[in-house]
């Protein structure tokens, strides 16, 4: 199994889902939501590509507090370690303050949180947190604040945060943006089925019919009600019907960040402006083939 970054030194392994309601409450007051750009024209949204010298990944959700707007990615997307560096409490990473190119933005964003760096600074000893806590935040430049919409392409939402988990065989939804798809958006929407959680609730496995591939790492996952479920952290084994993906539980990851980094204690997940619509199946073989041919100019 492996992490899912393109162009870097690793394509990793990990993560997913579920929890208890207490885990998602911000430590401070409630921040006022920004005014969002229309979903139909906003160039910055969940699923845009985020790139550093290490490689390219896919962003997940939009976050905000009273001062800033952030876009999420997987922590492992900025690791400088090897493919064997799977432990977030040990693997080296680019430092906070690193500039990150964000798709659709006019200015680079700034890496302001990395769960791996935070766990290392704190001397985290929980092996489940070390292996599955895989979230980073990029602060967007204020010049780009008017270019953002928090809706997940194709599916809509998120409608909130999942805090109860997903039973086996319950549907999950995602949207990837791997450079390996050559920009073909027809291949980006993904649907899968929960296979249960692991890692004391830090991680969940999903059988994904149109699986996340290298470069999709960090993608947002939604549950059947459109709630934010987790962050794509791993591409794992092939099984009949698709590949399994590891998804980091966003509720636990946010709680860890808020409780350990005072400056980010009031960061909240932004709800989508577009209604969640799960009644859109990923495209079948014929439309996908037509899209590939069109993209190749054939």
Q: What is the pLDDT of residues 165-204, one digit of tens each?
A: 888 899 999 998 887 766 667 778 888 999 988 899 999 8
Long-range CB pairs of 123-130, under 8 A, 24+ apart, other chains included: 124/89, 125/89, 128/199, 128/200, 128/201, 128/202, 128/203, 129/88, 129/89, 129/202, 129/256, 130/87, 130/88, 130/89, 130/90
How far is it, in rounded angstroms, from Cα 82 to Cα 208? 26
- Provide the domain limits for residue 173: 2-22+43-271+287-295
Give the single-character DSSP code of 260: H
Average pLDDT value for residue range 126-142: 97
How far is Cα of residue 174 from the mean position of the Cα atoms in its chain?
Answer: 9
Record the tokens describing residue 16, joined without a space: 């997913």
Please say whether the beta carbons of 176 and 5 come within 8 A: no
Does pLDDT of 151 surpass 70? yes
Q: Kindly state whether residue 266 falls inside one of the protein's structural domains.
A: yes
pLDDT value of position 80:
93
Q: What is the pLDDT of residues 52-78, one digit of tens each?
A: 999 999 999 999 999 999 999 999 999
- Return the CATH number at 155: 2.40.10.120
Please say whether the beta carbons of 112 and 118 come within 8 A: no
Mean pLDDT rounded to a whole number for the chain: 84
Q: Kindly state whether residue 279 falls inside one of the protein's structural domains.
A: no
Q: Which residue has the higher pLDDT, 18 or 105?
A: 105
Total number of domains in the chain = 1
Q: Kindly state whether residue 29 falls inside one of the protein's structural domains.
A: no
Burial of 47 from C-beta contacts in 10 A (0-12 / 13-18 / 19+): buried
pLDDT value of position 83:
63
Q: Find the Cα–Cα–Cα–Cα dihedral 61, 62, 63, 64, rounded to 10°.
A: 180
Q: Which residue has the higher pLDDT, 81 or 59?
A: 59
Q: What is the pLDDT of residues 11-36, one digit of tens each?
A: 433 333 223 334 444 444 567 889 99
Record the tokens describing residue 3, joined without a space: 């992490």
């Amino acid at each position: 199994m492996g992490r899912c970054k393109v162009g870097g030194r690793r394509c990793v392994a990990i993560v997913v889902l579920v929890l208890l309601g207490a885990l998602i409450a911000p430590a401070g007051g409630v921040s006022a939501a920004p005014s969002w750009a229309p979903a139909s024209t906003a160039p910055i949204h969940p699923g845009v590509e985020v790139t550093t010298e290490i490689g390219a990944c896919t962003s997940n959700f939009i976050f905000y507090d009273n001062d800033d707007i952030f876009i999420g990615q997987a922590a492992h997307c900025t690791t400088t370690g090897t493919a064997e560096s799977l432990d977030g409490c040990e693997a080296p990473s680019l430092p906070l303050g690193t500039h990150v190119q964000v798709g659709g933005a006019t200015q680079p964003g700034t890496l302001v949180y990395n769960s791996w760096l935070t766990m290392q600074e704190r001397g985290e000893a929980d092996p489940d947190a070390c292996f599955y806590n895989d979230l980073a935040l990029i602060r967007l430049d204020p010049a780009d604040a008017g270019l953002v919409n928090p809706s997940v392409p194709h599916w809509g939402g998120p409608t909130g945060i999942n805090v109860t988990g997903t039973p086996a065989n319950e549907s999950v939804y995602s949207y990837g943006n791997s450079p390996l798809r050559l920009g073909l958006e027809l291949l980006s929407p993904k649907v899968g089925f929960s296979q249960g959680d692991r890692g004391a609730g830090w991680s969940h496995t999903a059988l994904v019919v149109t699986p996340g591939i290298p470069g999709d790492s960090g993608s947002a996952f939604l549950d059947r009600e459109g709630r934010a479920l987790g962050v794509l952290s791993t591409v794992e084994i092939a099984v009949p019907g698709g590949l399994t993906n590891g998804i980091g539980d966003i509720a636990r990851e946010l709680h860890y960040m808020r409780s350990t980094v005072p400056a980010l204690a009031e960061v909240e997940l932004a709800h989508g402006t577009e209604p969640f619509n799960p009644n859109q199946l990923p495209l079948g073989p014929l439309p996908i083939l037509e899209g590939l041919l069109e993209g190749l100019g054939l």
